[in-house]
Amino acid sequence: MAGPSGVCVSMSRARGVSVSRAHCGGARHPSRRRSPAIIRRSGRGLDQSSSSSLGFAFVCRATTEESESMPASEETGLPKGESSEEEEEVFIRRRPPHGRPRNPCGPIDFVVTDYVEENEPRNILEEIVWYKDTEIAARKDAMPLTRLAAGVKKAPPPRDFLAALKNTYKETNQPALIAEVKKASPSKGVIQPNFDPVRIAKAYEAGGATCLSVLTDEKFFQGSFSYLREIRAAGVTCPLLCKEFVVEPYQVFLARFYGADAILLIAAVLPNSDLAYLLKVVKSLGMTALVEVHTEGELERVLSIPEVELVGINNRDLGTFEVTLETTKRIMESKQGQECKDRDLVVVGESGIFTLDDVNFTQECGCRSILVGESLVKENDPETAIKTLFGR
Ligand SMILES: O=C(O)c1ccccc1NCC(=O)[C@H](O)[C@H](O)COP(=O)(O)O
């Protein structure tokens, strides 16, 4: 049964139905202004779990007075009310702008029949981020935040990820290596078929990596949170970055629970209000945040948050998958790049680093650290691969 403006209500499981229409707080895209979205009232989905509101209560207590005063969304535990100007700068739409293709709603479900094209992810990062709601809901079903937070207290203490990078740079005068443990990626498919995360992590450490980045996304990278724990349990002492697509505080707790010392926050995904809030959560757990940007505009936005200490510049264009180190050069030569240098922030050059020339080029751009995945992980002897990469 088609309702007004393309709202189609499926009666298959329904006896009676009324669907409310209102602004949707989740999507961040100008198109949403042209048409009202649908508010989900009940049924299965993210808001089915009571753990997110519980989670927020916990996070509030775990962080500062300042964050306590921020109103938060019941759905995600993140603060509401970011300015529309800031929303425009966020490249990634957090959710399909017109809701999911099918929306369970109590005893019925409804379908949005218009705007099918706008409702498709525009790039791989949107596709990944949209799937996170499903993934996080399942995680919360298995372990509500209250239990997760209790578990976090028993996790091994966090190591200082940022200090490790700074020390290496000072000692070696070469960029400190964050070596990535990743089996596959959306752009390359399977990179290492004989993937053994512990063997690779040990080889990276033996080769001289300062820190490790561990992909935890299962669907798109064939990663796992359990790799963090396995690598720690095997005695690897390098601080560990949880390479995840974070949209909620719950994921930060999960990372700490599994032993991560640092976590990635992607500016293209997170408006500043979310970034600032997540940074407080990260700090409250004793971890470091690597805040990743792709453009000067994102860097400018990120630099307005005083808590940012570690910035990553990703050379991969997430629309085309094209990788060029010129991105790092361009951004580091911009006024925002200059501000990073003036503030003595550690900047990490990420993606597309294959040779000693690439290492040197990134260092000349002003990066004190590099994050390297493919060129090391594809080799069957990653220890030697690191030594070759650094000309040692
Ligand atoms: O690598 C991808 O295909 C990808 C797609 C969408 C989001 C992120 C993606 N990669 C994550 C990374 O940025 C890299 O794993 C990391 O920077 C290392 O890059 P590389 O040395 O080129 O493997």
Interstrand relation of 7-10 and 346-350 (parallel, antiparallel or unpaired) = unpaired
Work out the angle between the directed axes of helices 197-207 and 382-389 (0-180°, nearest 10): 40
What are 175's two structure tokens? 């960029």
Query: What pTM did the predictor assign?
Result: 0.80
Per DSSP, 49 falls in state -
Per DSSP, 287 falls in state -
Q: Is residue 231 exposed (0-12), middle (13-18) or buried (19+ Cβ within 10 Å)?
A: buried
Regarding the beta carbon of 372 and ligand 1, being less than 6 Å apart is answered yes
CATH of domain 145-389: 3.20.20.70
Cα angle for residues 115, 221, 210 (degrees, 5° grid): 130
Regarding the beta carbon of 124 and ligand 1, being less than 6 Å apart is answered yes
Confidence of residue 60 (pLDDT cuts 50, 70, 90): very low
Query: Is 314 a known active-site residue?
Result: yes
Measured CA to CA, the distance from residue 392 to residue 356 in angstroms comes to 10
Task: Determine the distance separating the centroid of ligand 1 and the alpha carbon of 180, expressed in angstroms.
Answer: 9
pLDDT of 99-121, one tens digit each?
A: 776 777 888 877 767 777 777 88
Interstrand relation of 262-266 and 240-243 (parallel, antiparallel or unpaired) = parallel
pLDDT at 99: 74
333, pLDDT greater than 90: yes
Which ligand 1 atom sits closest to the C-alpha of 191? 23
HSE-CB of 95 using CA atoms within 13 angstroms: 19
Which ligand 1 atom sits closest to the C-alpha of 374? 23
Query: Is 292 a known active-site residue?
Result: yes
Q: Which of 14-18, 106-110, 123-127, 371-375 has the highest mean pLDDT?
A: 371-375
Measured CA to CA, the distance from residue 96 to residue 343 in angstroms comes to 37
Query: Is 66 a known active-site residue?
Result: no
Query: Is 127 a known active-site residue?
Result: no
Task: Determine the distance separating the centroid of ligand 1 and the alpha carbon of 311, expressed in angstroms.
Answer: 16
Task: Determine the distance separating the centroid of ligand 1 and the alpha carbon of 286, expressed in angstroms.
Answer: 26
Regarding the beta carbon of 350 and ligand 1, being less than 6 Å apart is answered yes
Sign of the alpha-carbon dihedral angle for 92, 87, 78, 268: positive
Q: 């949005």: which residue's tokens? A: 112
Regarding the beta carbon of 273 and ligand 1, being less than 6 Å apart is answered no
pLDDT of 107-157, one tens digit each?
A: 887 776 777 777 788 889 999 999 999 999 999 999 999 999 999 999 999
Q: Which of 2-16, 53-67, 316-330 has the highest mean pLDDT?
A: 316-330
Q: Who wins on pLDDT, 245 or 81?
A: 245
Domain ranges in the chain are 4-122, 145-389
